[in-house]
Structure 1
Amino acid sequence: MTTAQDHARQGASHIYRAMRDVVQSMDDADTVPGRFEITRKGIVHDMMAPIGPHELTTLHLRKRLEKVMPEEIVAHTGEPDVEDAHEGVMRRPDVMVIDLVDMDVPGSFDPRTLHAAIEVVSRSNPDNDWVGKVGDYPLIGVPVYAVFDPRTGTGAVFTDIHATPDGPRYATRKDFVYGEEVTVAEWTISTDGLPRYKDEDVSS
Structure 2
Amino acid sequence: MQTQEEIYRHLRDLRNELGVVSGRYGEISDGEIVMMMSPVPMHAYIARSIARQLDAQLPPPLGAFENADTDDAALGKLRIPDVLVVPEDAMKSVDPLDPHEISLAVEIVSRSNPNTDYVDKVADYPAMGIPHYLIIDPRDGTARHHWQIATQNGHPAYLNQVSYSFGDKIRIGDWTIDTADLPRYSDDQRPA
- Verify same fold: TM over 0.5: yes
Q: Is the 8 A contact 1:129 1:147 kept in 2?
A: yes
Q: Equivalent residue of 2:26, what SS? A: strand
**Matched residues in 1 for 2:9 and 2:88: separation?**
28
Q: Is the 8 A contact 1:35 1:48 kept in 2?
A: no
Q: Does 1:103 align with 2:95?
A: no
**Partner of residue 42, structure 2:** 53
Q: Equivalent residue of 2:116, what SS? A: helix
The within-5 A match list for 1:33-52 is 35-49=25-39, 51-52=40-41
The within-5 A match list for 1:47-196 is 47-49=37-39, 51-79=40-68, 81-196=69-184
**Matched residues in 2 for 1:106 and 1:70: separation?**
24
Q: For residue 88 of structure 1, report the CA deviation from its aligned partner.
A: 0.3
**Matched residues in 2 for 1:126 and 1:194: separation?**
18
Mean Cα deviation higher: 176-185 or 40-49: 40-49
Q: Equivalent residue of 2:14, what SS? A: helix
Q: Write out per-residue CA displacement over residues 93-122 of structure 1, whole angstroms, 9 at most, x where no aligned residue.
A: 000101113333341100000110000011
List alignment gaps of at least 5 residues for structure 1.
1-6
Q: For residue 78 of structure 1, report the CA deviation from its aligned partner.
A: 2.8
**Partner of residue 4, structure 1:** none
C-alpha RMSD over aligned residues: 1.9
Q: TM-score, normalised by structure 1?
A: 0.85
Identity %: 33
**Matched residues in 1 for 2:118 and 2:103: separation?**
19
Q: For residue 193 of structure 1, report the CA deviation from its aligned partner.
A: 1.2
Q: Which of residues 12, 26, 34 in structure 1 aligns to 2:4? A: 12
Q: Does 1:29 align with 2:21?
A: yes
Q: TM-score, normalised by structure 2?
A: 0.91
Q: Equivalent residue of 1:86, what SS? A: coil
Q: Is the 8 A contact 1:116 1:185 kept in 2?
A: no
Q: Is the 8 A contact 1:115 1:185 kept in 2?
A: no
Q: For residue 166 of structure 1, report the CA deviation from its aligned partner.
A: 3.6
Q: For residue 199 of structure 1, report the CA deviation from its aligned partner.
A: 8.3
Q: For residue 21 of structure 1, report the CA deviation from its aligned partner.
A: 1.6
Would the alpha carbon gap of residues 48 and 97 (structure 1) be closer, same or farther in structure 2, given more than 3 Å must change?
A: same
Q: Is the 8 A contact 2:8 2:31 kept in 1?
A: no
